[in-house]
Amino acid sequence: MKGLFVTATGTGVGKTIVAAGIARFLKEKGKNIGVMKPIASGGQEDAEFLRQAGDVLETLEEINPIYLANPLAPYEAAMIEKRKIDLPGLTKKYENLSRKHAGMVVEGVGGVRVPLTKNEDVASLIRRFKLPALVVASAKLGTINHTLLTLEALKKEKISVIGIVLNFFDPEDLACQSGLKFFKEKKIPVLAMLPETPNFADSPDLIAETLRGTVLAKWLAKHF
C-alpha cells in the first residue's frame, strides 16, 4: 500500500495544513487518494477539512473512526469518557479503507509520544499502519529541540521518516533562518517550507500550489 503518515513535533504546528495540501496535490494529479484521521479529540474540524481537501466519498465517521469530545491526549480523554481505544480494531478500519484507494494520506494526533492507550502512543499507531512518516514542525524558535526529539523517537521505533516540513516559515525571521541552516548541516531532509500568511491554512488549493516544485512534491510524484 502506498501511503504517508503525517505526524508532528506537537499540537498546533500544522499537521492538518500539510496533510490537506498533500491530499489536494495528489488529487489534482489524478491519483485515487484516500484520507484518514484515525483519532481526533476536541473536535472533528481537522478531519472534515482533510475530507474536503481529498474530495473523497467516505463519511466523516469512516475517515475519523474515533472522536473524543475532550481536547486532551486521547488516552486521557478516553478515560474521562469511559471509552477504550482499540488500536487493532482501528488498524483493521484503516486497512479496509485503504483497499478502496491506490494510496492513503493519514494524519496523526498531536506528537509521536502522545498516549493513545496505557502502553501505546502515536508512534505505535504509525508502526501498525506500516507507513513512512512525514514530520511537520513549526519553523519558529524552539523547533530544533522539538524536531530532534521527534526524529529520535521515530528512529528508536524503527519508523522510516521521509523528512520534515517547516511550517509558519518566515524567510526574514532569524530563528527560521538558523533552524533551516541547522537542519541542512545535520543532513535532515527539509522537504518543504510553508508560509504563515492570511487565509493560507484555510485553502487546500493554495497549500497544494505552494507544494509544487518542492522536494516533497517530487517524493509524492515518485511514491504515489
Q: Which of 54, 43, 42 is closest to 6 using CA atoms?
A: 54
Q: What are the tens digits of pLDDT across the range 21-38?
A: 999 999 999 999 999 999
- The pLDDT of residue 198 is 82
- The pLDDT of residue 88 is 97
| 197 confidence band (pLDDT: 50, 70, 90) | confident
| 117 confidence band (pLDDT: 50, 70, 90) | very high
Kindly give, in sequence order, each residue whose CB lies less than 8 Å from that of residue 66, ignoring residues fewer than 6 positions away.
Answer: 38, 39, 40, 74, 85, 90
Mean pLDDT calculated for residue range 2-24 = 96
Q: Kindly report the CATH class assigned to 2-223.
A: alpha beta
- The pLDDT of residue 150 is 98
Mean pLDDT calculated for residue range 193-218 = 93
- Give the amino acid at 21: G
Mean pLDDT calculated for residue range 111-122 = 96
| 185 confidence band (pLDDT: 50, 70, 90) | very high
Q: What is the value of pTM for the model shown?
A: 0.96
Kindly give, in sequence order, each residue whose CB lies less than 8 Å from that of residue 209, ignoring residues fewer than 6 positions away.
Answer: none
Q: What are the tens digits of pLDDT across the range 77-109?
A: 999 999 999 999 999 999 999 999 999 999 999
Return the C-alpha cell found at 155.
528512529
| Residue linked to cell 473536535 | 43
Q: Which of 120, 135, 113 is closest to 90 using CA atoms?
A: 120
Q: What percent of the chain has pLDDT over 90?
A: 97
Torsion of CA 91, 96, 101, 102, to 10 degrees: 60
Of the chain, the end-to-end C-alpha distance in Å amounts to 9
Return the C-alpha cell found at 104.
492513503
- The pLDDT of residue 85 is 96
> How far is it, in rounded angstroms, from Cα 79 to Cα 106?
24
Kindly give, in sequence order, each residue whose CB lies less than 8 Å from that of residue 22, ignoring residues fewer than 6 positions away.
Answer: 4, 6, 105, 208, 211, 216, 220
- Give the amino acid at 111: G
Return the C-alpha cell found at 49.
477539512
- The pLDDT of residue 199 is 87
> How far is it, in rounded angstroms, from Cα 110 to Cα 85?
16
Catalytic residues: 37
Q: Are the C-beta atoms of residues 53 and 24 closer than 8 Å to each other? A: yes
